[in-house]
Amino acid sequence: MSASYELLERQVRELLAGETDFIANAANFASFVYHELPDVNWAGFYFLQPGGELVLGPFSGRPACTRLPSGRGVCGAAAIAKETLVVDDVATFTDHIACDSASRSEIVVPLLARDDVYGVFDVDSPLPARFAARDRSGIERLVRAFNEIAGTAKPLESPVS
């Protein structure tokens, strides 16, 4: 069954409304996506550090790589491009960083504060080509809602240009 992203967005807004703590909202957002989207084995945040390294933030799923070197992996590529990346088969993305060998496909949405990337939201699936065009726009929609509500309270200063 495919997710109704319109409904999910309403639920995300309810879940995050009223809480001003960025980490609390990021943790609940990751857990929400992990549990509400079918066929997902990991969902979570990486935040950009000065120098461009991405460091693990709140997530749901198996323990993951804590630090992704600047510009590396699907996450680093999406952060640099400032655009969502969908990888239908992670085996064909040569710079893919495998944190969980069960992952087959992946979507990474950059987090923007004004025009600066301050992190990424990453979702992995054990199925190949799990993220269709409607999932891409739907997950972008959820991340936009997160960013609108929680992003202004982020504790990190945007370190990249």
Q: Which residues contact ligand SME by CB under 6 A? A: 42, 64-65, 68, 73-75, 96-97, 99, 103, 106, 122, 124
Q: Smallest distance, Å, CB 149 to ligand SME?
A: 23
Tokens of 41: 């084995």
Residue nearest to ligand SME according to CB distances in the complex: 73
Q: How far is the CB of 6 from ligand SME (least distance, A)?
A: 27
97 vs 153, beta carbon nearer ligand SME: 97
Q: Count other C-beta atoms under 10 Å from residue 144's C-beta.
A: 16
Q: Where are the alpha helices (DSSP H) in 97-151?
A: 133-150
3-state SS class at 30: helix
**Cβ proximity to ligand SME, 10 vs 62, nearer residue:** 62
What span, in angstroms and rounded, lies between the C-alpha atoms of 62 and 24? Answer: 19
Nearer to ligand SME, 103 or 149 (CB): 103
Q: Which of 68, 70, 154 is nearest to 111 (CA)?
A: 154
Min dist CB 3 to ligand SME, Å, is: 20
Three-point CA angle 10, 14, 15, nearest 5°: 115
Rounded to the nearest whole angstrom, what is the least distance from the CB of residue 131 to ligand SME in the complex? 13
Q: How far apart are CA 4 and CA 113, in angstroms?
A: 27
By C-beta, is 74 or 150 nearer to ligand SME? Answer: 74
Q: Which is nearer to ligand SME, 28 or 124 (CB)?
A: 124
Strand partners, 112: 117
